[in-house]
Amino acid sequence: MKKLWYVVIVVAVVYLGWEFFRPRPGEMQSQTSTASVIDAMGGGAAAPVANAGDVSMPASVTYSATGFSPATITVKKGTAVMWTNLSGEGMWVTTDPETGYDGTDRKAHCAEGAAASFDQCVASAAGSQWSFTFNKAGTWKYRNNANKSFIGTVVVTE
């Protein structure tokens, strides 16, 4: 009987975890269609790199109560980066105003009908996801505009 309870508890935990972390319709705000997410959270001192052979696979960054992980990610030009909010607060990924991505201000690139920009333009709730495809090589700093103390960097190579 005790084993049955352990099995029930494990199944319940797995199911609740799946329910909490799965993307829901209408929550993902993306400029790209994404088939799956690769795990770009490798260890060591080197920055993680998205699968160089397939630039259609998005790289993954998580946001939690401790900030962005990985803090720096390296991807090939044309790769999407998917941010997932695992914190209990809002996440608003936006380019660092000093390094800017497209040379426009928030009012211009967040206007209705504006071209996609490296700015989420609105805070998203816990459990949500947002992605952006990097089509320009360079080093792009960003922050959570809902909590400006958390920053990260995307390095885009040719």
HSE toward the beta carbon, residue 118, CA cutoff 13 A: 22
Q: CA-CA distance, 126 to 124, in Å (whole number)?
A: 7
CB 157 within 8 Å of CB 75: yes
The domain limits of the chain are 27-157
Does 2.102.10.10 match the CATH number of domain 27-157? no
DSSP string, 51-72: -TT-TTSPEEEEEETTEEESSE
Find where tokens 């972390």 sit.
Answer: 21
pLDDT band at 98 (very low <50, low <70, confident <90, very high): low
pLDDT at residue 135 tops 80: yes
pLDDT at site 2: 79
pLDDT band at 116 (very low <50, low <70, confident <90, very high): confident
Of 45 and 13, which is predicted with more confidence? 13
pLDDT at site 40: 32
HSE toward the beta carbon, residue 84, CA cutoff 13 A: 20
Is the overall model pTM greater than 0.85, yes or no? Answer: no
What is the average pLDDT score of the chain? 73
Q: CA-CA distance, 91 to 122, in Å (whole number)?
A: 8
pLDDT tens digits for range 21-72: 554 433 334 333 232 232 333 333 333 444 444 445 678 999 999 999 999 9
Q: Which residues pair with 91 in a beta bridge?
A: 124
pLDDT at site 122: 83
